[in-house]
Amino acid sequence: MVHSTADDVDDYLAEVPARRQQALVRLRRMCRAELQGFTEVMAYGMPTYQRDGAAEIAFASQKQYISFYLMRSDIREMFRERLAGQDMGKGCLRFRTAETIDFDLVRDLLRATASGPGTIC
Task: Assess if residue 49 is contained within a domain.
Answer: yes
Given this model, what pLDDT does residue 5 score?
Answer: 82
Domain residue limits at 20: 9-114
Task: Assess if residue 2 is contained within a domain.
Answer: no
Given this model, what pLDDT does residue 1 score?
Answer: 46
Radius of gyration over every alpha carbon of the chain, rounded to an integer in angstroms: 13
Given pLDDT bands bounded at 50, 70 and 90, which one contains residue 2? low
User: Taking the model in full, what pTM does it have?
Assistant: 0.93
Residues in contact with 120: Cβ distance below 8 Å, sequence separation at least 6, in sequence order: 54, 55, 56, 71, 72, 73
Task: Assess if residue 105 is contained within a domain.
Answer: yes
Task: Assess if residue 121 is contained within a domain.
Answer: no
On whether the CB atoms of residues 47 and 12 are closer than 8 A, the answer is yes
Helix axes 103-114, 18-34, angle to 10 degrees: 30
Task: Assess if residue 106 is contained within a domain.
Answer: yes
**25-64 per-position pLDDT tens digit:** 999 999 999 999 999 999 999 999 999 999 999 999 998 9
Task: Assess if residue 1 is contained within a domain.
Answer: no
